[in-house]
Homo-oligomer: A and B are copies of this chain.
Amino acid sequence: MGRRKDQSAARAAIIEATLTAMRRRGVNGLRVRDVAELAGVSTATVHYYFDDLETLLREVHRQGSDRFFTDRMAMVAAIPDARAKLRAMIAAGIPSSVDDPLVIALYQLNAHLGFHDEHSLLLTALYEKQVALYLAVLEVGVAQGHFTLTEPALDIASNLVALEDAYGLHIVTPNRAVPPARAAELICSYARTATHCPEITAPCQEGR
């Protein structure tokens, strides 16, 4: 009651429902009706909160990106040792399974929104923020004396994000060639080589 239109519970439910709906039907197959049903409202209500589908998708992407980035930043900031930071970053960058709705949605939205020039800036921004995060970790590692880099730190950070993206796509697309644990190990393999720090290893991921 006290809330505004952009803070209502229904609005949040719709955004959440969109994530779920996208896991089931993809961005392309996404129907307002699906979102509405999952959110327990009518399609007209969806349009009451979001002028059109595109607006809804942008909002979902914005919130998702923020959540994704902020979570990682908080997590990495809480760890002092650069080696542990890097391990944690890698582990957190891999979608835990084919059913992770947030990550699925982000990949789908990247592909979808990326097709229009107008949104490229947003995507670029997210990518660069991720790179910056890795870059910071690498520099801390060098400062702590754990990492020795033979290539520019920026290049390494960029590659780490790229590997995350690629393997994330493999996992989210049900391409069983690269399961999550293997993806983590592969990225760690690169991180070890690039930092000359043999302690960058993937955590044992039993029980997944």
Pairwise interchain contact A123-B193, C-beta atoms closer than 8 A: no
Which of B27, B155, B166, B173 contacts A189, CB < 8 Å? Answer: B155
Pairwise interchain contact B124-A175, C-beta atoms closer than 8 A: yes
A113 to chain B, nearest CB (A): 9
Which B residues touch A111, using CB under 8 A? 108, 111, 173
A170 to chain B, nearest CB (A): 8
A206 part of interface (Cβ distance < 8 Å): no
Pairwise interchain contact B151-A28, C-beta atoms closer than 8 A: no
- Considering the chains assembled together, what is the distance between the CA atoms of A187 and B177 in angstroms? 22
Interface majority SS (helix, strand, loop, mixed), chain A: helix
- Considering the chains assembled together, what is the distance between the CA atoms of A133 and B194 in angstroms? 23
Which B residues touch A48, using CB under 8 A? none
A166-208, CB under 8 A of B: which get 1 and which 0? 1101100111111000000111011011100000000000000
With A162-B162, A162-B166, A175-B127 in contact, is A112–B28 under 8 Å at CB? Answer: yes
Which B residues touch A192, using CB under 8 A? 151
A172 to chain B, nearest CB (A): 8
